[in-house]
Chains A and B, each alone.
Chain A
């Protein structure tokens, strides 16, 4: 936390729910009494392209963008995206990676190749990596749609935001009828992060 500002970068592929996750985080930070700025780019990038969302909170936040090398936590919804964005992590920062590979069509036509074992590479580079097989865990919980809340649960254990606000905001933001399952997934994510 530089100048009392906490920096969280959430990244993934268009359609994975990166923006909703960052919305929830930002709102929890507001309700926990922080000044908050959050930034991402909409539009063309979202058609299966790279999506990144910057969330910053603290006493007073100026820039909505996290300077690279200063993210306290990077949460990646996809492995190659973790590799792409890892340079945002500050020294001793944390990287949470969802164990999922989304291979873009361009790879099939040999105009690009999917990186070899991104998580291994990231560990080798000395990152503090928490890799979570969120899809399998979510499947065990009964619904793969719970992946995002599960990852938010893991993220939450590295941020000191108000616990009750997480629950409150998740309840409002998830589809009706799935509140219980999502809160459950959130707790599961926390557990995973603690181990």
Chain B
């Protein structure tokens, strides 16, 4: 393999994993979250790397810190909102600095393909005063990991490697290399560095400012920031995916490609600005660079034609440039041949046979206010179920419910719905709040025994680790009891009547109630398939009860009843045989096939 370079097609996330492998990363931690999840899934496969899912991003970050403090090269990965959860240790880790190289990978989601907001995490680098690297494609995603770890060790700082969905989930050709090992030297008892009580923290803050000074020099020299000379009439400052969109739309312009974006190479930008007639700053989301460049007194244009909302695309960029009279007119090719094909909705839905469905059908009978959380189970907010009424951030459901129940009078049933992985992520502390402050809410833990939304990752209640080992599985019943909840119920969401009875009883009981809805996910860790069901078309009266389950396997057929109602039909190739529709059919005309 020596001479001949191995070239493979990799996603940005796979490339980051390879980068960590090559750079001798020994410890990698994360909590799953789209678009970051595949980084750890891939890293776990490489010899010499120990990778783990932590219950949440803060813990992942702190475990990673420990590895670094003991001298191991470490990578911690999360989605953009995960950094909010890990922000507490991040802000102070900036003060202590590292021992083994430490890279925090933040995968942002412009356009919110799978997220609740589209915050721009570049501000975290500025906020925490740490260096930031932004790759533009898979090759850079791989290379920048090793470079980030070198920078981390050279400047004694954690480093932010910022990806976006289009970097994480796009594939490009990557040249692979071999792994280099870095021995682990152990934890040093260095009190002035690691004990951040005020007397030492003040000193470390000085160190941070000195480090920023050094980094401001570094950013002017590093080849991560480079000028590409082209047509002098237009100079573009861009990094990350925006650089490639700009190259697509303005192939002939001059470029200052920013790969190292905190601190920005202000002197080079100034020099570059002088060498071109007009300076454009092309960046997705917030004017992170533009504001700093303007702040330095350099004239530039940017957000006036590049939107600060949603995902940037080559065509949005082009349209903006035309609007700002930087490009002259759209060519025939840009003017779309036809309009987008209407607004036909195809929202994501709960899978056929999903355990969450039965619970929601029962819940819908109770007319409760349902404070929701994040996961597959959030999909029930959409029609036809419309069974949960809020979704803010992981763990918010329980605290939100406590607040609602506290102030609303007369008391109506208030329910919090939270997934198993979400509960372990950040549901335990608010449940403790409910116990402590004597709340009367009902908390439903949707225990499908996996982190489903992000593609089926293990968590502390599944009994398996990321490395494929067996481990202890948390018992939600015992856990709730230990936290002080006296009234704990378990339901089987596939048994509709029993579930409904238990819920009815629970919500009207005074005090705090926990209901554990236990039904394994039908696609992770493996697909569950039973005998499919069939609707007797002769007898179906078109009442639509089964259609209102929102099951992708059930649709309206061409056949009509005498009253002109559409009869329902089951697609047997999709049906898993959960039999929920058979249980709720008021006239009993749904039966197992064969």
Contacts and interface: CB of A to CB of B under 8 A. Distances in A.
B9 A36 contact: yes
Interface in A94-116: 103-109, 111-115
Contacts, number: 190
Interface stretch (B51-59, B60-68, B202-210, B244-252): B244-252
A85 interface: yes
Interface string A40-77: 11111111111000000000011111011110000000
Contacts of B340: 84, 87
Interface in B534-568: 544, 547-552, 554-556, 566, 568
Interface string A130-168: 000000000000000000000000000000000000000
Nearest to A89: B337
18 contacts: A26-B9, A36-B9, A36-B171, A42-B114, A43-B114, A43-B454, A64-B171, A64-B244, A67-B248, A67-B318, A87-B340, A89-B338, A91-B332, A105-B349, A105-B384, A105-B555, A106-B346, A109-B383
A62 B244 contact: yes
B384 A109 contact: yes
A188 interface: no
Interface stretch (B153-161, B162-170, B466-474): B162-170
Given A47-B351, A63-B247, 18 more contacts: A38-B9, A41-B113, A48-B552, A62-B248, A64-B137, A64-B241, A65-B245, A67-B313, A68-B315, A69-B315, A103-B556, A105-B384, A105-B554, A109-B544, A114-B344, A115-B342, A115-B344, A126-B337
Interface of A: 2-3, 13-14, 26-27, 30, 35-50, 61-65, 67-70, 80-87, 89-91, 93, 103-109, 111-115, 118, 125-127
B582 interface: no
A75 to B, nearest CB: 15
Interface string B373-390: 000100100111000000
B173 A30 contact: yes
A72 B241 CA distance: 23
A47 B349 contact: yes
Of the listed residues A67, A83, A106, A113, the one surrounded by the most CB atoms of chain B closer than 10 A to its CB is A67
B475 interface: no
Chain B interface residue bracket vs A: 35 or more
8 nearest CB pairs, A to B: A43-B114, A43-B34, A83-B341, A64-B170, A49-B348, A47-B348, A39-B170, A108-B547
Given A43-B453, A48-B351, A87 B339 contact: yes
A39 B349 contact: no
B172 A42 contact: no
B2 interface: no
A107 B555 contact: yes
Contacts of A48: 346, 348-349, 351, 552
A136 to B, nearest CB: 15
Contacts of A70: 333
B338 A87 contact: yes
B245 A63 contact: yes
A108 B385 CA distance: 13
Given A45-B114, A105-B551, A39 B171 contact: yes
B350 interface: yes
A42 B169 contact: yes
B113 A90 contact: no
A37 B349 contact: no
A69 B333 CA distance: 6
Contacts of A65: 166, 245, 313-314
Interface string B290-315: 00000000000000000000000111
A69 B334 contact: yes
A64 B549 CA distance: 38
A108 B137 CA distance: 42
Given A44-B113, A47-B348, A90 B333 contact: yes
